[in-house]
Amino acid sequence: MSKRQKLHIYFILVTIFLSILIGYRIYLSIYEKDYQSLNAVNIETIETKLIGQTTFSFAVVGNIDNSMRIFSDRIVPLMQDENVDFLISVGNAVFDGAEGKYRLLHRGLTKLDIPYILVPGNNEVADFGSNNFYQHFGPYFYSYHLDNAYFIFLDSTGITSWKWQLHWLNQELETAKNYPYRFVFLGHSLLPQEKVASENSSKYTVDAKTSKTLQQLFSQYEVTSVFSTGYHTNSQQSVGGVRYVVSSGGGGLLLDNEQPYQFVKVMVNPQGFSCTNITAPNRFSPIREKVETLKLYLHSLFYMSIFNILVIIGIFTLFSLLFYSKVLKQQHLYRDFNIDEEASFGTPLRIAMFTNNYLPFIGGVPLSIDRLHKGLLARGNTVLIFAPSYLQNWDDPSDGSVYRCPVLFYTKRGEFPAVNIFNREIGKVFRKFKADIIHVHHPFMLGWTALLYAKRAKLPVVMTYHTRLERYTQYLFGPGMMVKNFLIHLMIKHFANRCDAIIAPSSSTEEYLRNLGVSAIIETIPTGINIEAYGQWTAEQIEQTRAAYVRPGENLLISVSRIAEEKNLDFLVVALEKLKATSSKKFTCILIGDGPERKRLEAKVKAMGMQDTILFLGKLAPSEVVRCYLAADLFVFASTSETQGMVLLEAMAGGCPVVAIRSSGVYDVVHDGVNGFKVPESTNIWAETVKKILEDAELLSEMSGNSREFAKQYSVESITERVLALYRRVILLNASKRSES
C-alpha cells in the first residue's frame, strides 16, 4: 500500500471519528430535552406541594462536583430514607461551568423524585459558566416563601455586586420578619473555614468586611439559619443568635479522612427546627479511599472533558494529515526530467473518453470530441467514447469506438440526456477495454464516473475544459446566481485538481483555471479544424449557396451558435438592426443553429421588421455549415460564454473575418485588423465596426486571406499530435508517481 493510500485511509478514519463526536453533540443539542429556569420551576413545585403545611424537611448539600455516581449511589438513597421534601445545593454542584457539565448535572438531578434548587458557587460560574447558570437555573439571587418559612438566596460569586444585594436584602429581611423561620443560602461561608490557608480563603469564604455586614443584618433580623458550602468540611456554629451551617461532601474529593459523604437534613415544624448531618455509612479503608479519590480526580479531570479533548486531538490529527499530504505533494512540483517522454511516441494508446453530450447533438463539445476521435484513430490509436444515447437516429462508427450509455431521462427537448451513471454495464465495458488513459470532457456526471474508474484502475486522467459553466447557471435550480456561481467554481476546482492534466482550449481559459487554484498540469491546446473539409465544395456550389441569400454586390453575414440565452443573440439582433439603419451596403445575416430561444427570437426579429435580413436556418450538417462559411463574407458573433470559440476558427478557415465581443476564447484567435475585430459589448460600436469592414472591400479581402492562413495552424493533424504528446507525458508521470509511492 502506497503512502498516499495509507494517508487517505487515515484521513477517512479521523474524519469519521470527528463526525461521530460532532454528530453526537448535535444529537444532544437537538434531541436532549432543553431545560431553562429550573429554580423557578422547582420552587413552584415546592410551593404547590407544601401549601398549607407547617411541617416539612429539606436537604442541604454542597460540593457535588459532578460526581453523579457517588451522589446517586451514596447520597440519594439516604435522602429517600429520610423522606425529605426537597433539595437545596449550596454551590459547586458542577466541576466547572461548561455546558456539558451542566447537562451532566441535570441528567443526575432529574433522577431524583423531589424538586431541587441550585445556588451558584465558584464552580458554577467558572469557565464562563455564569451564562449557563442564568439560562438553565435562573437569577443569581432571589427569594420565595412557604406558609411558615422564608427562603433567601444570595450570590457570593462576585457576579452580582454586594452593594446592590445588600439594598435588596434589607427589604427581603424586613418582609421575612412576618414568618417564623428565615433561612439564607449562599455559596461561600461567612465564617472562617478550618484547614483553609489564608491565601485560599476567598475561594470558600466571603471577604471579612462583607461578612461582618451580613452577620450584623442576620442578627438584627433574627435569621434562623444561614447555609453555605466550603472546603470539604461540615460544621455548625451559632454567632449572634444565628446558626451558621456549612454542608459539604455531596461528591467530589474527600481530602480529610474524617469527613464522610453527607448532607444536612433540616426539619421544620411548629415547635422548632433542627439541622442533622446525615452521613453515608461504610466508609472505605484509608487505602481504598485514596484509590477512590484518585479515580474521582481522574474522572473529573479527564473523563468529564473527554469530548473536548478528543475533538482537539482529532482536529490536530486532521490538520497534521493535511499538512503531511501537502509535504508529499511537494515532491512532484517539478517534472521528473529522468523520464524520456519521447520513448513511447511510436506506441499506440488505448484512450477511454467520457462525455455527457455527443453526436447527434450538434455543438462545440461533440464536434471537438469527434474531430479528436478521428485524428487519434488516423494515427493508429484505439479510442472508446462513453456517451449518452439520444432519441434521434444516428449511425455510430461500425468499429465499435462509441459506447452508448443507458439514460435515466431526457430534458424537455431531448437534447441533454441524463446518463444512468450507476449502471454496472458501463463499468464492465470500461474494464474490458483496458485503457491506458482516460479523457473526460465534463466535470460532472460521467466525469465523476470516469474519476472513480481511474482511481480503481490506477489510470491517469486528462480533462478538456470546454465550457464556461458559470454562464449556464440559469438552468439550475437552487439559491441565487452568486451562490450558484460560487458552487460551480468550487466544483470545477475540486474536479480539476483530481485530474492529472487539463487541456485548456485558450490561454484565457488557462488563466482562469490558474486563478481558480487548479494545481494540475495545464496545457493550452485548441480544438482542431478539418481543413480538408473546406476543399470538398466547388466554386459553383459555393456561389449557389451565396445566391440563395444575397444578390450580386450584397454581403452575406453568418453566425453559428446554439440559440440559447447564454449566446447573447438579443445583442446580435439589435446590433444588426442598427447596422442596417446606418450602412449603405445591403446585407443578409444567416443564423445557423437551434435551441430554446429560437421561437422567441424569430418573433422578435419579425416584430422589428428584420425577417428578410436575419434568416434562421436551424441545424445543418457540419459539411453544410462549411459550405455556408465559404459562401459568406463575414462571421459575426456576440457570445461571451466561450472557452475557445471553435466556430470562430471554422469561419476563418472558410475565409470569413470575425467581428466578436471581447471575451474569453476570443482574445486568443481574433487579432484586430488582421483576421477581424474584437469590440466592447456595445451595439453601436459593434455596428460601426461591421459597417467599416463591409464598406471597405479591400480591407475585407485582405482580412479574408489572413483568416484562411491563420486557421491552417489549427489543423486536426497538428492538434492531435499535441494531445498525444500530453497523453504520453501524463502516462509516464503517473507511472513514476506510483513507483515512488
pLDDT in tens, 618-664: 999 889 999 999 999 999 999 887 766 789 999 999 999 999 999 87
197, 199, 202, 208: CA torsion to nearest 10: 90
pLDDT in tens, 468-515: 655 544 445 555 456 556 778 888 899 999 999 999 988 888 888 899
CA atoms of 488 and 559, how far apart (whole Å): 29
Q: Out of 31-40, 171-180, 187-196, 411-420, which region has the weakest mean confidence (pLDDT)?
A: 411-420
pLDDT in tens, 231-277: 777 889 999 999 999 998 888 766 555 678 899 999 999 999 999 99
Of 235 and 461, the one with more pLDDT: 461
Question: Is the Cα dihedral 378, 384, 386, 388 positive or negative?
Answer: positive
Residues facing residue 560 across a β-bridge: 592
Q: Which residues contact 536 (CB under 8 A, 6 or more apart)?
A: 623, 626
For 591-611, b where at least 16 C-beta lie within 10 A, e where not — what string?
Answer: bbbbbebbeebbebbeeeebe
559: enclosing H helix or E strand:
strand 555-560
For 402-412, b where at least 16 C-beta lie within 10 A, e where not — what string?
Answer: bbbbebeeeee
Indicate the pairing of strand 587-592 with strand 555-560: parallel
Residues facing residue 588 across a β-bridge: 556
Domains 35-283 and 350-524 share a fold: no
Of 522, 473, 475, 517, nearest to 492 (Cα)?
Answer: 517
CA atoms of 677 and 686, how far apart (whole Å): 9
Q: Would you identify the CATH topology of the domain 537-714?
A: Rossmann fold (3.40.50)
Instruction: Name the percent of the chain lying above pLDDT 70.
Output: 86
What does the domain layout of the chain look like in residue ranges? Answer: 1-32+285-329, 35-283, 350-524, 537-714
420, 426, 428, 431: CA torsion to nearest 10: -140
Please indicate, yes or no, whether the overall pTM of this predicted structure exceeds 0.75.
no
pLDDT in tens, 423-441: 999 999 999 999 999 999 9
pLDDT in tens, 697-707: 999 999 999 99
Q: How far is CA 258 from CA 234, 235, 253, 526, 741, in A?
A: 11, 13, 13, 89, 65
Residues facing residue 142 across a β-bridge: 153
Mean pLDDT of 392-408: 92
CB 229 within 8 A of CB 91: yes
Q: Which residue has the cell 482562469?
A: 512
Indicate the CATH number for domain 350-524. 3.40.50.2000
E-state strands within 248-390: 262-269, 272-279, 350-354, 382-388
Is residue 463 helix, strand or coil?
strand
DSSP 71: I
Indicate the pairing of strand 142-145 with strand 149-153: antiparallel
Indicate the CATH number for domain 35-283. 3.60.21.10
